[in-house]
Structure 1
């Protein structure tokens, strides 16, 4: 266990025992012969006393020596001990968020019972929502992206340097073969296209990397753009000299936060390589200049790059905040099984603030008026390769409007399944200045909610269930108002 944590646990126990005995630091100082300042340093976890001093404290506090030095905490402080012994604080790079570990330790030592109550609450919520360590790591990375407006200049610069070193023309569509050649010739990779096909259990995996032999096992079922992305991620790991990484794509499990964070870095690098910033900015300016957005124009943009529609949409979340100052936006990815009524929101990103269309962990019905859902219903009905939709979503309960673009495609790895990707940009004067087609009559404004259970649009023809959560809240408010009225009446 980390020495700092051992000191902290000892300090927490000493402080708890002292306060239980009704002693001040001054009082314990007189009893033990240790200075008040020294005892204060011990309780803050900054110093650990020598055995003779522990013996003195044990004697005057009437507690067994072994109990005092034990790392076991009583039930009031046990959650803090669990957090410290799990090394969770060591696994998460707190410095990414501008937090010093020592500051957290000070907070814990100054108000242990309140911090314990808070940690216990978080643990209880996590259990109820099946919130795993992996979910916590992914949420941390997402918060890191949001804190930086999902734009990382060092990675953008690394892509430009890489392209120059290896003579990759970023003004042209990236060739998968060029990326494969660099992996083989520069990084001594062996590409195996056959092994994964022999194992039906691995049908959901796109690739496995074997570091000892530098072999990349890759499935034949992926298309050229997916192969290019995998190659670009492998190049990122090597070029950025990332050693702590994930070895499967998609991931099976991860053991540390660094693996998750580095996976994000490699994915960002790959996206910036196959969808170069300068080219995309130019394309978007041309697209935004149109008086009316033609579906073919947007589809042409998606097809211009050797990338999946999802990669292009995700790349928009890097470029729009940085180059167009459109920072209030969200990204959503839904999955949907054909001929069902269940839509799963399994990926999201919110920049600047937490916008309304967010994942629900309570199995509520997402609003069927969302364009994200509509394009999934359309592709299921038409059995087409790609469905595109655009609308202005008006969140009536929050008085916010978003321009939302969405695409639906087949899930390349699962039969009878589809996925939709959408990006929503808050409607404001900045968007109106940047996007010429925003006011064209072809773009419909649709009143939307978040889930049916909470939606105030009572006459919605697409509603799946009554707004039971909203109704319960309204009933509570009415009750509170009546109580307030009675209280006022009898208080005068």
Structure 2
């Protein structure tokens, strides 16, 4: 599409020069002797004129030839040029979202000033919130997940084919030893388990893959479930034949969108292999059919698999929409340092629509009534391995309630750090049909907000900051109401 970008930029420049000189397409046609339809195709990025035609336009418009053919746009259209020449549009497979690149070009060509204003706005927002290319890629993948209800049947089928090819029994817990054997024997891996721990700076890394020698380096701090997940991801990269990939876990940086997308695919494959669809669906059916919530049964369901609580909750976001038609849900992961009052939302996923609990970058205080934060505080104080709780969160401002399940565990790589994983299910008629224990009186219902600054709950003992943004909105609405009354009073 490089040629199309050049055509479009030339067309944008020609249109800008023409309008600056107060010329219509008809007028430029009369001036240059070129047909109006031909000039229109040039301005819309459909055609690129031959050198003699460019020389003719340059002469008639009194603009230097070099300026005409330069890919540099003036400041009014520069953001569009930056976007068109950037790697972002080239790297993101727009077909994932049902978008044709030619359609984007048509939009830009038909309304360059408006598109430019929109792009400039996005750039300013991105700069204000330190929004990087990596953030854009991750947000794109998250949108892709949400658009597909986070269920990908091709990957599920690939797992079943893999299992059949390597005679893996999904009725049994999958072990790291079983997967390591396939990596070594089938794909020629060399696995070293004591190298990364020698380097203090690599304290947060769990694995590094060296492609030249197919050497997988692991840290000593990982447990059995983490080791199994890492092996499963490596098998996914090889079995699915992904060339563009990330080489560290967790990632440090990435260069292309394909790397980010394939990392997601490999993680999905790993989760579907370790936590098979049929097996987790059976466990959930058993839990959902009971009239009261059985905490022990739920925790046993997590322990059924050789997986971390986070992997189990992630898998819920695949299975609930597909097997139970529960599509209004969210997934959240918070981190917390013991003794602090700051909670950081590091990962989120929202299916169907943007639910109330979502990340903000404005230093507001998340509602301390969220069970996601409560389990973190509880775990940091009682020092258990796993803290679990469940509640019904009533967002009175939105008129919505969510059944929220949340687990907290210690961060194995950071001293005094903890993380919680939560899944929230919108309570509606569909959920009431699927889950029998929703009326369980032992499940606490809690009035909650999103952040203290936007919360209208009065007398909240957990409040960390006054509701300044809510008060500002109320003040503005009052001003608007008075202005409307004055217009009515003196408008006749």
The TM-score, its normalising length taken from structure 1, stands at 0.99
1:70-219 → structure 2 map (5 Å cutoff): 70-219=70-219
Which residue does the alignment assign to 2:424? 424
State the secondary structure of the residue aligned to 2:245.
Answer: coil
Preserved contact between residue 233 and residue 267 of structure 2 (Cα < 8 Å): yes
Instruction: Map 1:58-457 onto structure 2 (within 5 A).
Output: 58-457=58-457
Q: Distance in 2 between matches of 1:67 and 1:289?
A: 72
SS at match of 1:216: strand
Paired with 1:107 and 1:95, the residues of 2 have a C-alpha distance of 17
1:4-29 Cα offsets, whole Å, 9 max, x none, are 11111000000111111122222211
Instruction: Please list the CA deviations of residues 88-108 of structure 1 after superposition, one character each: whole Å capped at 9, or x if unmatched.
Output: 210111110000010000110
Any gaps of 5 or more consecutive residues in structure 1?
none
SS in 2 for 1:402: strand
Q: CA shift at 1:283, angstroms?
A: 0.5
| Partner in structure 2 of residue 36 of structure 1 | 36
Counterpart position of 2:11: 11
Calculate the aligned-residue CA RMSD, in Å. 0.8
Deviations 1:341-382 (CA, angstroms, capped at 9, x unpaired): 110001000000000000011011000010001101110111
Q: What SS does the aligned partner of 2:254 have?
A: coil
Supply the distance in 2 between the matched residues of 1:299 and 1:202 (Cα, whole angstroms): 32
Q: Distance in 2 between matches of 1:253 and 1:339?
A: 31
Cα distance in 2 for partners of 1:334, 1:287 equals 25
How much does 1:294 deviate? 2.2
Distance 2:264 2:121 in 1: 29
d(CA) in 2 for partners of 1:396, 1:143: 27
SS of corresponding position for 1:360: coil
Q: Any idea what the Cα deviations from partners look like across 1:282-341, whole Å, max 9, x if unmatched?
A: 000001112211221111111110000000000000000000000000000000000111
Long gaps (5+) in structure 2: none
Q: Distance in 2 between matches of 1:179 and 1:142?
A: 28
- Alpha-carbon separation, structure 2, partners of 1:60 and 1:79: 28
Cα drift, residue 460 of structure 1: 1.0
Asked if structure 1 preserves the Cα contact closer than 8 Å seen for 2:287 and 2:294, the reply is: no
How many aligned residue pairs are there? 492
TM-superposition CA deviations, 1:167-189 (whole Å, max 9, x none): 00111111111100000000000
DSSP 3-state at the match of 1:95: helix
Give how far 1:383 is off. 1.0
Superposed structure 1 runs of 4+ greater than 2 Å apart:
none
Structure 2 CA distance for aligned equivalents of residues 129 and 25 of structure 1: 42
Give the match's secondary structure for 1:362: coil
Match of 1:485 in 2: 485
Q: What is the rounded CA distance, in whole Å, between the counterparts of 2:121 and 2:319 in structure 1?
A: 38
